Amino acid sequence: MTEHYLNPPVPENFTNTGTTGDFSLNYERDLTPDDRLSMSVRHELARYQIPNEQVQQAAGQTQNAGNFETIGIISYQHIFSPDLVGDFRGMVRNDANDLWSNDLSTPIIAFQNNSFNEGYFKGSVSIHHSNQEWKAGVESDATFLNESFSDIITDPTQFDPGTPTTFSFNGNHPDLEQSAFLQDMIHFRKWSINAGVRWDHYQLLVNKSAVSPRLSVARYFPSADIIFHVSYDRIFQTPSSENILLSSSPAVQSLNRDVLRLPVEPSQGNYYEAGFTKSFFGQFSLDVNAFWRRVNNYADDDQLLDTAISFPIAFAKASIYGSEAKINLPNWRHFSGYVSYSYIVGSAYFPVTGGLFLGDDATNAETTLSGRFWDSQDQCNTVRTRFRYQFTRRLWAGAGSDYGSGLPFDFDGTEQEAIAQYGQQVVDHVNFNRGRIRPNLLFDASLGVNLYNGEKLKIRLQADGENLTNELDLIDFAGLFSGNAIGPSRSYALRLTTEF
């Protein structure tokens, strides 16, 4: 149980309680020295409230949501020979998502009851021969989607004139996906080569297939104790299935004569990466990577006002590039830790497809056929540190920090409208001239002690403090499609762990 289940849009943390629970049962058995069977079943649930903005809280809005999942997995492994292993696994899953709104919700009373039943199978064989490791397999995934949505508009001024005050939708459709892959890992002297190819097929609102090659090469130079690596990967990513039937249904034409209904196609892109790992004096190491990703039909999601309801969308393309560096200190005179830095620049390009665009939004989407904007994850500079000191065999302390230079935002209103909606404290953390959230620096610390460290029983106690300076952690502000999100304020945790 928690009073900070989601990242709320305002620091007052209105209506943000949540409860989670899960139960699992696992069974494993070696049928023979060459045959191993495992089975598991798990049930998880989450019941939580949707956080309010200031206007919604003043109106008395309450929105409750829930997620319930039951999943069963069975896997079987057979060793045909020391160099040939077969692995087969199947899964069945039922997932349900609900949303309920009270009569005081504004500007819309929304109800949702979505669910799906899924069946999944994967079979693969692994072959070891000389300095090569081959692996081949097939996958099949059948998901049967069910969507139910209804709404009542309580503030017509937030919608285009003529929008019906009530709407309901029910739909179902199968999502069928299949794939096959072949890969080979080669170890030759100081070289490591991993090459493969994958075929994917996706059939829901569109029928698409793709062949995706991938290749990575690494070379170790012992004299300098350094590894260089380069890689290429072509990706095929299917869109989110959340409310995809509703957003593409002819029924939405009853909401407005101007409606954009273009199906979301799978994302396809090329990923490139190069870097090296260098050890120094046998005490610490440096990892450096540079990457560039070019994606067509760049996947994202569009949120319906400030509800938990979203619709999959895709932009024409996106270009993301950057670099990462990390210094690791595994253990030096009771010290351990790391410092990491990342630089990323991400741009997405219009036009946009999918979503639920009505009236002026549909017109804008149809006429905005070109142009670029910063991707929602375009945070140029990010620094993270974590350090730990072992005082004695039983007692240790740790500390860390997180710095972010700020994500972009796109707010159509004025600064005064932003204050009325989110409050002065939030607006003070954004720079309207740059269109970015102001930089943020957070600190945390931990203290741990091994109370008992026996052969059959271990007991550990750990105390954690996060966001120790109680800085307002504004993650997103009026995001182009995702809205506001504020991280937890100063918080403390005490954890007792036993192993027996």
Whole-number Å distance between alpha carbons of 219 and 189: 9
Other Cβ atoms less than 10 A from the Cβ of 51: the count is 26
Q: Which two tokens stand for residue 15?
A: 């209506």
Q: What's the one-letter identity of residue 375? A: D
Asked if the structure places residue 9 within a domain, the reply is no
pTM, whole model, 2 decimals?
0.86
Contact 284, 330 (CB under 8 A): yes
176: containing domain: 18-499
261-318 residue pLDDT tens:
778 899 999 999 999 999 998 889 999 999 999 999 998 887 776 666 788 888 999 9
Find which of 300-314, 360-374, 413-427 is predicted with most confidence, using mean pLDDT. 413-427
Percentage of the residues of the chain whose pLDDT score is greater than 90: 70
The domain that contains 392 carries what CATH number? 2.40.170.20
Asked if the structure places residue 302 within a domain, the reply is yes
Asked if the structure places residue 3 within a domain, the reply is no
Asked if the structure places residue 7 within a domain, the reply is no
Q: What does the mean pLDDT of the chain come to?
A: 91
201-216 residue pLDDT tens:
999 989 999 999 999 9
Sign of torsion, CA 278 284 290 293?
positive
Asked if the structure places residue 4 within a domain, the reply is no
Asked if the structure places residue 10 within a domain, the reply is no
Q: Which of the residue ranges 230-234, 359-363, 406-410 would you say has the lowest mean pLDDT?
A: 359-363
- Nearest partner of 365 among 247, 235, 470, judged by Cα: 247
pLDDT at 113: 95
378-409 residue pLDDT tens:
889 999 999 999 999 899 999 999 999 999 88
Q: Which two tokens stand for residue 75?
A: 């896997």
- With bands split at pLDDT 50, 70 and 90, how would you rate the model's confidence at 483? low
pLDDT at 480: 46
3-state secondary structure the chain: CECCCCCCCCCCCCCCCEEEEEEEEEEEEEEECCEEEEEEEEEEEEEEECCCCHHHHHHCCCEEEEEEEEEEEEEEEEEEECCEEEEEEEEEEEEEEEEEECCCCCCEEEEEEEEEEEEEEEEEEEEEECCEEEEEEEEEEEEEEEEEEEEEECCHHHCCCCCCCEEEEEEEEEEEEEEEEEEEEEEECCEEEEEEEEEEEEECCCEEEEEEEEEEEEEEECCCCEEEEEEEEEEEECCCCCCHHHHCCHHHHHCCCCEECCCCCCEEEEEEEEEEEEEECCCEEEEEEEEEEEEEEEEEEEECCCCCCEEEEEEEEEEEEEEEEEEEEEEECCEEEEEEEEEEEEEEEEEEEECCEECHHHHHHHHCCCCEEECCCCCCEEEEEEEEEECCCCEEEEEEEEEECCCECCCCCCHHHHHHHHCHHHHCCEECCCCEECCEEEEEEEEEEEEEECCCCEEEEEEEEECCCCCCCEEEEEECCCEEEECCCCEEEEEEEEEC
Q: Which of the residue ranges 190-194, 259-263, 335-339, 402-406 would you say has the lowest mean pLDDT?
A: 259-263
76-125 residue pLDDT tens:
999 999 999 999 999 999 999 999 999 999 988 999 999 999 999 999 99
Asked if the structure places residue 467 within a domain, the reply is yes
Q: Is the pLDDT of residue 364 over 80?
A: no
- With bands split at pLDDT 50, 70 and 90, how would you rate the model's confidence at 481? very low
- What is the tally of structural domains in the chain? 1
Asked if the structure places residue 308 within a domain, the reply is yes
Other Cβ atoms less than 10 A from the Cβ of 222: the count is 7
424-466 residue pLDDT tens:
999 999 999 888 999 999 999 999 999 998 888 999 999 999 9
Whole-number Å distance between alpha carbons of 247 and 23: 34
- With bands split at pLDDT 50, 70 and 90, how would you rate the model's confidence at 359? low
Q: Which two tokens stand for residue 315?
A: 């932009």
pLDDT at 358: 67
